[in-house]
Amino acid sequence: MLKDLEDEMEERGLEAIVVSGGDFSRELYYLVRTQIPRGGVYFKKIREEPMIIVGNVDVARAEKGIVNNIRTFTEYGYEELVRRHGPSIAAVEFYNRLFREQGVEGNIGFYGAKDLGEAYRILKGIENLGYRVVGEARPNLLDRLMETKDSAEVSEIRRVGLSVERIMEDTIAMISGELGRGKTVTVGEAKKYVRMLMAEADLNPVEDFILSSGGRTADPHDPGEESERIKEGDPIILDFYPRGRSMLYFDITRTITVGGADKRLRRMYEDVLDAQNVAYELLNREANINLRDLVGYVCGFFEEKGYPTIRRLLTGDTALKRGFIHSLGHGVGWSLSDLPRISLTGDEELRSGHVFTLEPGLYEPGLGGVRIEDVYLSDGGKIEQISRIDKALER
């Protein structure tokens, strides 16, 4: 959580941190709590108030945030530096002026998004001036801050979730209603309907969404072929993961059929639903379980029912295309890949404030796939399911 910033800096031995962000940066929004259209630089010395440095045109936007010390690049002569030396050298001298002004002498952590080559040149230039640049492996300071959510963030995730669930319910009703009346519905028409509803709800499908049908559902990340007709009895996977206006995401998946489902698909669906319930019950029973062990437990559940699982990947079977072939879940909120990682390669336990998904799935080329995904909140002991939309297969 953001309130832990001082502790995280002290734990890492950092005197100061710099977070640079481009247009509408997620990292800057998290720290400043307002959108900076053209990005900027967040600077903080330990045990001192932070500052945000932006272009002149973004000062008014910065004033809407929680950082009171707002400066402009012009105050540091940045525009003239760019004119004379180009962006990379100008950035080095900008940071030199900032650090001298602020009396920085110790370790400086750098975070945010930038082209790797340009970042290397800038950081190397800063080091050559005698500053102590600290590079940090992931998960880094920002990852850890964003990992757990405070009550305001959880409330906003719930709000976004309610909107996403209404859109999914409306979409399912539209598809089943049209097919029930004997009309034709293509994947493209259904996706157009979803985009309209998301726009009306002020949700941004930053990374698009999945609405696939038929045999394409056997590929977990197939977005759906827009020209394809949706047919009664075929599996339909709806996986919606938009971002709300406060930069927080929600992520939910349902698998449905319109009319009766193939008995093999129905069995897959029942096994996936049971696997999700098994994982949920185990987390509530053993709050301190390592999440890697949780995934192993679900793999064992599927393997007992005859399905191959991702455990085969650890033995070198890179051609695994059927059965349970992806991770069990992930953190969600400030991104779709927040901590914790609920995979065989993770090594974490749930903590209070974790918001995460459980999304078991089974896939059978030639038949289709089934995935069910819900969002949960941990209080450090018990697990609450946030998403509430109907999980029924046949509609």
With helix as H, strand as E and coil as C, how does 193-219 read?
HHHHHHHHCCCECCCCCEEEEHHHHHC
Q: Does 391 fall in a domain?
A: no
Q: Are 264 and 276 found together in one domain?
A: yes
Q: Which two tokens stand for residue 60?
A: 């008014």
Distance between CA 371 and CA 325 in Å, rounded?
A: 11
CATH of the domain at 100: 3.40.350.10
Same domain assignment for residues 104 and 182:
no
In a domain, 395, yes or no: no
pLDDT at position 244, please? 97
pLDDT digits (tens, 9 = 90+) for 110-154: 998 777 888 999 999 999 999 999 989 999 999 999 999 999 999
Amino acid at 185: V
Strand pairing partners for 364?
A: 368
What is d(CA 121, CA 87) in angstroms, rounded to the nearest whole number?
Answer: 11
Is residue 318 predicted with pLDDT exceeding 90?
no
Answer whether residue 392 is part of any domain: no
Q: What is the pLDDT of residues 69-104, one digit of tens each?
A: 999 999 999 999 999 999 999 999 999 999 999 999
Query: In the block, which residue shows the tokens 């990682």?
Result: 341
Pair (137, 164) in one structural domain: no
Domain end point (choices 111, 146, 181): 146
pLDDT at 35 > cutoff 80:
yes
Same domain, 167 and 110: no
Average pLDDT in the chain: 96
Domain count, the chain: 2
- Buried residues in 206-224 as b, exposed as e (16+ CB within 10 A): eeebbbbbbbbbbbbebeb
Task: Choose the weakest-confidence range: 91-95, 136-140, 166-170, 192-196.
Answer: 136-140
For helices 151-180 and 187-200, the axis angle rounded to 10 degrees is 140
pLDDT value at residue 305:
98
Residue 68, domain extent: 2-146
Say how many CA atoms lie within 13 Å of 125 toward its Cβ: 16
Q: Tell which residue, 111, 114, 118, has the closest CA to residue 140.
A: 111
φ/ψ (deg, to 5) at 241: -145, 60
SS3 40: strand
Q: Does some domain include residue 394?
A: no
Q: Is residue 254 part of a domain?
A: yes
Q: Burial level of 299, CB count in 10 A (0-12/13-18/19+)?
A: buried
Kindly state the DSSP code that residue 364 receives in the 8-state scheme: E
Residue 280 domain-assigned (yes or no): yes
For position 313, what pLDDT does the model report?
Answer: 83
The pLDDT of residue 314 is above 90: no
Does 281 lie in the same domain as 161? Answer: yes
Sort strands 107-112 and 132-134 into parallel, antiparallel or unpaired.
Answer: parallel
- The CA distance from 348 to 190, in Å, is 39
Alpha-carbon distances, residue 34 vs 29, 45, 180, 394 (angstroms): 5, 21, 46, 43
Instruction: Tell me: do 184 and 319 sit in the same domain.
Output: yes
Q: Are residues 63 and 156 in the same domain?
A: no
Confidence of residue 390 (pLDDT cuts 50, 70, 90): very high
**Residue at 390 is within a domain:** no
Task: Let me know whether 139 and 277 are in one domain.
Answer: no
pLDDT at 335 over 80: yes
Same domain, 63 and 185: no
* pLDDT at site 316: 78
Q: Are residues 207 and 133 in the same domain?
A: no
Omega prior to 242 cis, within 30 of 0: no
Please check whether residues 223 and 337 belong to one and the same domain.
Answer: yes
pLDDT of residue 113: 73
* Helix, strand, coil distribution of the chain in percent, nearest 5: 40, 20, 35
- Here the tokens at position 35 are 């959108």
E strand intervals along 228-352: 236-240, 252-256, 329-331, 338-342
Instruction: Tell me which long-range contacts 176-181 makes (C-beta under 8 A, separation of at least 24).
Output: 176/256, 176/258, 176/395, 179/230, 179/232, 179/258, 179/259, 180/258
What spatial distance separates the first Cα and last Cα of the chain, rounded to whole Å? 41
CATH code (residue 344): 3.90.230.10
**Residue 217 tokens, joined:** 């559902």
Q: Where are the alpha helices (DSSP H) in the chain?
A: 5-11, 26-32, 59-62, 78-85, 87-102, 116-128, 141-147, 151-180, 187-200, 263-285, 291-304
Instruction: Say if 368 falls within a structural domain.
Output: yes
User: What are the C-alpha distances in Å from 78 to residues 33, 85, 100, 191, 193?
Assistant: 25, 10, 15, 45, 46
- Decide: 275 and 310 in contact? Cβ < 8 Å: no
Read off the pLDDT band of 320 (50, 70, 90).
confident
Domain's final residue, options 120, 146, 172: 146
Return the percentage of the chain with pLDDT > 90, whole number: 92
**Residue 273: other Cβ atoms inside 10 A:** 17
> Do 328 and 294 reside in the same domain of the chain?
yes
Domain final position from 146, 167, 185: 146
pLDDT of residue 253: 98
Q: What are phi and psi of 67, to 5 degrees?
A: -95, 120
